[in-house]
Amino acid sequence: MSEISTIVGQRIRSRRRSQKLTQEKLAHLSNCHPTYIGQLERGEKSPTLPTLERICRALHYPMSELLEKIEDFTGDEESREKSIPLRCYEIICTKPESEQEKLLRFIMEIDRFSK
């Protein structure tokens, strides 16, 4: 499958895990088969837009956020690995909003003391 399918799958898996959902529970909530959820998470399948919408709704994950900056993660793997901002973004976007707030405050404190 494409790199985009792999990235989307990783983001879905990360969001699902952050909400402590099993693949089976996400499948039930999104009206998908558990095997299909596993295939999506591994990047083996590409979801249709209606399926992606159901999964995002089940995860309380805006589809725009799921796909945000995805084009920056395609292409040369070495360039992606060297891009610290992209790597930070990928970590932060997979966390629940409450953890994102904590991470933002932490970064702001570091920035304040480094001036």
What DSSP letter does each residue of 56-85 carry, written as one string? HHHHT--HHHHHTTGGGGSS-HHHHHH-HH
Structural domain containing residue 27: 3-113
Write out pLDDT tens, residues 11-67.
999 899 988 999 999 999 999 999 999 999 999 999 999 999 999 999 999 999 888
Supply the pLDDT for residue 18: 86
Report the alpha-carbon distance of residue 31 to residue 51 in Å, rounded.
9
Domain count for the chain, please give it. 1
79 confidence band (pLDDT: 50, 70, 90): low
Which distant-in-sequence residues (6+ apart) come within 8 Å of 103 by Cβ?
A: 92, 95
CATH number at residue 76: 1.10.260.40
Supply the pLDDT for residue 96: 77
- Asked if 42 and 9 touch (Cβ cutoff 8 Å), the reply is yes
